[in-house]
Every structure is written in C-alpha cells, then in structure tokens.
Chain A
Amino acid sequence: MLPIDPTKKLSFNRCIMYGDLVIVYERYDSMKPVKVSENGVLQNRFGVFKHSNWIGKQFGSKVFSSKGGFIYLLAPTPELWTLVLSHRTQILYIADISFVVMYLEIVPGCVVLESGTGSGSLTTSLARAVAPNGHVYTFDFHEQRAASAREDFERTGLSSLVTVGVRDIQGEGFPDEFLGRADSVFLDLPQPWLAIPSVAKMLQQDGVLCAFSPCIEQVQKSCETLKTYFTDIRTFEVLLHTYEVREGNLGSWQDSDGCLGTLKSCKKRHRSTNGLENSSPQTILARRNSEARGHTGYLTFARLKCDM
C-alpha cells in the first residue's frame, strides 16, 4: 500500500502482478478488495472478470467483462481501505482520521500507541503517517480481532510498520517498555479515562493524546481525569456534508408556460421551439446531499503537562 521501498517508490505507476491487492471499483458506492491470483475470477453484476486479464495493466485501468460491463482497478490507499475493510467493529472514517493524524502531529519516524485496534481502520492511516521509519503499536483485548487485524496488515503490506498486541489496556495500561517513548497516543475504548494515567506515563514530554468517544458522558469523565496530567484539553466534533452535482437547464419564467421547475421536461421543449430559448445556457448545479453522515463521536485532545 505504501511506497516504502525506494525501488518501488511510485507504486501507482507499477503494473498489476499476481499477488497484488487491488481495489475493484464497481460504482461510486461499491468497491471491494481483491487479491490478484492466477486462476482468480471476479463475478459481479457487471459480468465475469478473469484476473489473468489484469496482469500487466496499470493501476487505474478500466477492464471489461465478456458481457461488456466494466470495472476499474485501483491501487490500495488507506482512504480506500477504510471504505472496503471488513467491519468487525465500529470504525473511524476519513474525516475524523485526517483530523486526528493532523492534531496528533504524526509525521515520519513517530512512535504511536493505539487501543483498541478494532477493525484497523485508523491504524492503517497511522501506519502511513509514521512510515518509513516510525512504528505503530496497537492493542486490543479481543484475541480474534487482533489476529484478524494482523492478517489485514499483512495483506495491505503494513506489517513492518504495525505491531498488534493482545492486552486489556483499561485494566493494565500500556506495557512498560513504552515508558516515555510515545510521540502520541490514540484511545478508542469504552472507558478511556481508565487508561489515561498510563498514557501520561507513556508520552514523551509535550506529547499529544486523543480519545474518541461517541457519548458526551464519556468525554466528561475523560476530561475530569485528563486535568491531573494534561493541559490544552479540547474537544471537537467533525461533521461532513457532501454535495451532488448535475447539469441542468433552468427555464426563464417569461417563456415558461406552466413548466417551471421541472428541469428535464422543460429542456426538451426549449430545444424544439425558437432560437431565443435555446440560448438559455446549461448550468452546473450543486446541492447538499440529503443523507449527511451525522455524529460519529467526540475527539478530545490533550497535551502532556510539561513538568521539567
């Protein structure tokens, strides 16, 4: 997923080979991850696609089924992975993820601690941010989930950047080997306040913590605990509106005879009548999508107090 190996630096430009992970783009809201294999076949509503036909094509290519249906083969990125991974838990989405990575000041070389791992959605972006010489240590107390996450990081080629541990972080805190070593820590746990004293010990001075919680009562408790060790405590919510775009022809009220508002039917009529009306230009129209994704959770950030 990442161009860590300097010889493969521009990974997007590589041709597809057996063993590659590709993101198959069917339609705007429909994508899936596929491992390219010798006898592999992908079957979907657009037809039957043989993996062998994909070999040697560039990422970003459009490929056709025998039926004439088509899909696009995309190179995996953390953004796409978050959209296609298998949901074993609630996950973080890209709007929250980018804000977290930014605010935690994660850059190449950082050591980052995370708990719980969940489905590894955030972990994937953390790994890219610390690459090539940093590391993410992520912990979940659910053995099966940790194992699945490990498999995923293997699949996405991130295993050299991520270590998954099984541990009850609320009960035991982070392992002592990380004392004073973490550049930043991220918590997505049901009771983050139980882990905060441990986080304070793990962070380097001036290091930043983020806790994600869906409910304000959790935030309240976390903030109470944070005050003892942290400063600059700030809580945010990231909301995202999306827009749809279409081309339309808006009729003028003067030459409309009762067909106001119905974009398409008006358009036909305009064409068939005189040239004046034809001059009414096509307009690009944008409007907010009605199904906005609302609340995901609150993000509380805090900086370790400097007591040197």
Chain B
Amino acid sequence: MSTKSSEEILSANQNPRITWEGCSVLLDINDGDRVLFARLTAGSKVKIGNKNCSLQPLIGCPFGSSFQVEVGEEGPFLSRVVPSTEGNNLGEKMDCQNMEECRDNRTLVDNNTAQSLTSEDIDDMRRKGATGDEIVEALIANSSTFEKKTAFSQEKYRIKKQKKYAPGVLLRRPFARRIVHASLAELQPSHSETSTSIDQLEDACDKESSPASDLVNMEESSNVNLETVSNLAASPKTNKSIKAGEKAPLEAIKSWKENGFSSLIIAAPDLDAWSIVKELVPLLSYSAPFVIYHQYLQPLATCMHNLQTEKMAIDMQISEPWLREYQVLPSRTHPHMQMSSSGGYLLSGIRITAIDQPQPN
C-alpha cells in the first residue's frame, strides 16, 4: 500500500492498517454527513454535534473501526462499537419479510402526536446516564406509528434517530478519493456527492505518484486546503512533490526542460483554460497525454479548437462523465433520487511534434 512507502511508517515499522499516535486520519461522521481530517494526538479533539470528544480512544485501533459518542461521568467520549454480526447496512434486518411486505402505510397519520417522549424526557434519560442507543430504543418503543411502518421505513427511522442521538464516527485511512471528497465537501457543502470527473482526475494523480516520478503542483491561487494536503504523511502524493509556493531545485527544473513532462493535469476552475494550456502543453514531451478539467463546457471547446488549429495535439475528446448511484435492496432497487449528474467536463488529448513536412523516404 502507499502507506508502506511512506517514510514515517518505514521508520517506525508500523502496521499501516492500525492507527498510531501522531498519524493522520479521516473521520467519517454519521455515515458521510461530514468528513474531516485529524491528527491523532493525546490532546486532539473533534466536535460532534455540540459535544467535544477526545481522539485518544482512536489511537491503536484498526482503520475501519467505528465509534459512538457516549456521555459519561467526565462528559462525552468516543467509545468503540464492537461490530455485530448483523452489520449495519440498511435493509439487512428485513431479510425474511422483505419480499412479501404485507404492511403498507394506509393507516399512518402524521399529526406530530406519534411520539410520546418529550425532549424533557430525553434530557432526563441522559442525566441518568442512558446511552445513545438506549434513547433510540426508547424513542421507538414510544412511537405509536413505528409498528405500522413498513420494515423499510422502520429502518430509516432508526437510522435517522441514531444519527441524532448516537452519532457515529468511522475511522478511515486518508486516501486521495476520500481527501478530495473531504475538501470538496468543505468547499461546496451542497455538493458533497462523488463526481466522476473528479475521480478520473484523482486517478490520474495517483498514477503520477509512483515513487519513480516527480509530481509538480503549479497551483498558485489555490482554493484547496493546502494544509490538509500537506498533513498527509501517509500519502504517496507528497513523495518528491514540490509543494505550491516552494521553489523547485534547479536540477529538477533543468531535467524537466530537457525531458519534458510525461503528463499534464489542469484543474483551474476560475481561469481561462486556453491561456494556461498554451503555456503548459509545450512543456510536455511528445506523445504525452494531458487532461484538463473545467466545470463549464465552453472554455474546453475553445481550447480543443485552438489545439487543433495549432496542430499541438491529437486524439482529443471532450467528455462528460456521469455517475449514478443505485439503492440495491430486494425488490426495491432503483437509482438514487439525488444523483450528482455532471461533475464537469474533461478535455483529454495527446501532444504531438510540430514538424509537418513530408520527409524524403
């Protein structure tokens, strides 16, 4: 894994799949509601809902473990959830009844009186030390409509209440896919769904990150949270890469000029694509591929046309990838209602030599 090639781990001879003090992690809160970076130190804390919890209990746990916020004598703390054999996938608990669901919701009346527990009751339970899960169970027991709901809606109800009263944290390794989604989520909170063009870009970035290659980040007006990126001790992307704002060693610059770059990725949403492309494409070695991302089609169309007329590139294509997620459940499979539709456009192509006269054979 990438993590194996990271110096930090090599020196400490760590199992890269278990966290250690000082390592960077991603915290997935409430099943993707919020994803954030953290460094696991004795003093670091995370705010979940209105509660501040220490990250200490996460140190030494395998990536992939889940935690829940519990409230103890000394206040809120994160407690490891031992995975049950039932698992936590929506719809799992309805195996036997799902096919012939006999309940329907004809008798359900939504008049706000269905729940007999008041918020005072809940506060009271809390004071007496009830866990989040116990509160959820109490809410279900006191819901007059729960029994009448279909198994599917019951599950939905449970998950909704769990998120509120027993918020969960999932411990993840910081990988490019998750990082970008975390920083995207920070940038545009309304748009945190996966988008394929971004994935294709990330994939391209990952390919460039092999230890034998240089990754040069030419970002100037960066709107990505660079601090988070440079935090990623375990990511191969920082290997040998020259960070934005840092001057590359002369030796490296010389070698780039001589050899040309072996690929080019441009994602500069606020800049005119052609004005960058015409400067950067000539730095590529011949036959090297490039890809340019833009959220609008028109700048890429202009770019493609110019590259064509200037005979700088071939095999050009503008594509718009669409990602569609599906809910897969017995007898209830359908595309998700909210789909990310288009995450933007990609112009890809291959640089060619400029020489254009037939040579004598």
Identify the A interface with B (CB < 8 A).
Answer: 3-4, 6, 9-13, 25, 28, 50, 53, 58-62, 64, 66, 68, 70, 72-75, 77, 79, 95, 98-99, 101-103, 105-110, 128-129, 131-133, 183, 204-206, 216, 219-220, 223-224, 227-228, 231, 233-243, 245, 247, 284-286, 288, 298, 300, 303-308
Contact = CB atoms under 8 A, between A and B. Distances in A.
B88 interface: yes
A108 to B, nearest CB: 5
Is the interface on chain B under 10, 10 to 19, 20 to 34, or 35 or more residues? 35 or more
A227 B262 contact: no
B297 A238 contact: no
- Among B1, B236, B325, chain A packs the most CB atoms within 10 A around the CB of B1
A3 B175 contact: no
Contacts of A72: 314, 352
The SS class assigned to the A binding surface is mixed
Contacts of B17: 204-206
Nearest to B176: A102
B259 A10 contact: yes
Interface stretch (B69-77, B141-149, B158-166, B197-205): B197-205
A178 B307 CA distance: 48
B287 A107 contact: no
Interface of B: 1-2, 4-5, 17, 62-66, 83, 87-89, 92, 173, 175-177, 194, 196, 199-200, 202-204, 206-207, 209-213, 236, 259-260, 262, 285-289, 297-298, 300-302, 304-305, 314-315, 317-326, 328-330, 333, 335, 345, 350-353, 355-356, 358-359, 361
A68 B259 contact: no
Nearest to B178: A105
A131 B87 CA distance: 35
Given A60-B353, A231-B89, A247 B5 contact: no
A227 B330 CA distance: 12
Nearest to A59: B287
B319 A10 contact: no
A306 B62 contact: yes
Nearest to A23: B287
Contacts of B4: 109
